[in-house]
Amino acid sequence: MDSTTELEKIVPQVRRDIVRMVHAVNSGHPGGSLGCTEFFVSLYFKVMKHNANQFNMDGVGEDLFFLSNGHISPVFYSVLARAGYFPVKELATFRKLNTRLQGHPTTHEGLSGVRIASGSLGQGLSVAIGAALAKKLNKDENIVYTLHGDGELQEGQIWEAAMYATAKKVDNIIATVDMNGQQIDGSTDSVLPMGSLKAKFEAFGWDVISNDNGNNIATVVETLATAKTHLGKGKPVMILMKTEMGNGVDFMMHSHKWHGVAPNDEQLAQALKQNEETLGDY
């Protein structure tokens, strides 16, 4: 899919999927999901080389994506389904008994598109580095992408992984941090200020690219394209991407409160009114 206009058409549909999924089970994480919608749509409909119809765990010959902050599963599931990994109607099973769409993503139920369980934070960067090393051993020149929450960077394992990736020149990985500045108990600055993440990752030897408008699909696509040109030069690449938690649903924005809260019937109706049905609801 090429034009930005076409990508922009997918975005409101994914937002509808997200709010409808969490509303249906009165649980889940809409805030971070909405904030990362443009990133996921860019990745799966434009940037990544991947094969949705014939999912293969090893993913040799494809780009790979790992979601480290697994709680934003609604956006991950919606985009996987819309990209063709599994039937869109399966989104209706989210968080319900016997579903493949568990509260946090898992390989355990055999859902196409998911290559690792995530939810307990801080583990995805290490896993992605392992997959990137396997690609190097396999002489597979495709890329490994990850997404992390900014609050997630408070986990120590992230920094073990960050140190390793530089030291061992893992230069076929593009990690992105969703800089929405929010976590469960409040803003990241009020919970545990992390200072300059750019300075920190640069001090750890990463090639850091900033995107201050992660909710603008054109800039996200451009940033990911730029990041790709930085690979293969001995350094891992990090995108620090500023987003607005709850983006696209006005009453969910500018607060940490919609991190893990589902909308009621009235709020759902309001959210849907703000996002046009472009591809057909599930």
Could you list the residues that contact other proteins (CB under 8 A)? 57-60, 64, 66, 106-108, 115-120, 122-135, 137-138, 140, 156-157, 160-161, 163-164, 167-168
Shortest Å, Cβ 21 to other proteins: 22
Task: Tell me, rounded to whole angstroms, the distance of Cα 147 from its chain centroid.
Answer: 5
Task: Determine the Cα–Cα distance for residues 55 and 194; give it in Å rounded to an integer.
Answer: 38
**What are the tokens at 34?**
């909405």
Closest CA to 131 of 177, 166, 174, 83: 174
One-letter amino acid for residue 120 of the chain: S
- Between 42 and 126, whose beta carbon lies closer to other proteins? 126
- Between 104 and 235, whose beta carbon lies closer to other proteins? 104
Shortest Å, Cβ 107 to other proteins: 5
**What are the tokens at 129?**
């580095």
- Between 7 and 129, whose beta carbon lies closer to other proteins? 129
Place of tokens 């769409």: 101
Task: Determine the Cα–Cα distance for residues 165 and 205; give it in Å rounded to an integer.
Answer: 9
Helices 124-137 and 156-167, axial angle in degrees (round to 10): 20
Shortest Å, Cβ 149 to other proteins: 16
Closest CA to 196 of 150, 127, 139, 256: 150
Paired sense of beta strands 182-183 and 186-187, if any: antiparallel
Shortest Å, Cβ 158 to other proteins: 9
- Between 29 and 82, whose beta carbon lies closer to other proteins? 29
Task: Determine the Cα–Cα distance for residues 271 and 257; give it in Å rounded to an integer.
Answer: 16
- Between 134 and 191, whose beta carbon lies closer to other proteins? 134
Task: Tell me, rounded to whole angstroms, the distance of Cα 230 from its chain centroid.
Answer: 20
Task: Determine the Cα–Cα distance for residues 7 and 1; give it in Å rounded to an integer.
Answer: 7
- Between 58 and 212, whose beta carbon lies closer to other proteins? 58
- Between 10 and 158, whose beta carbon lies closer to other proteins? 158
Shortest Å, Cβ 161 to other proteins: 5
CB 206 within 8 A of CB 165: yes
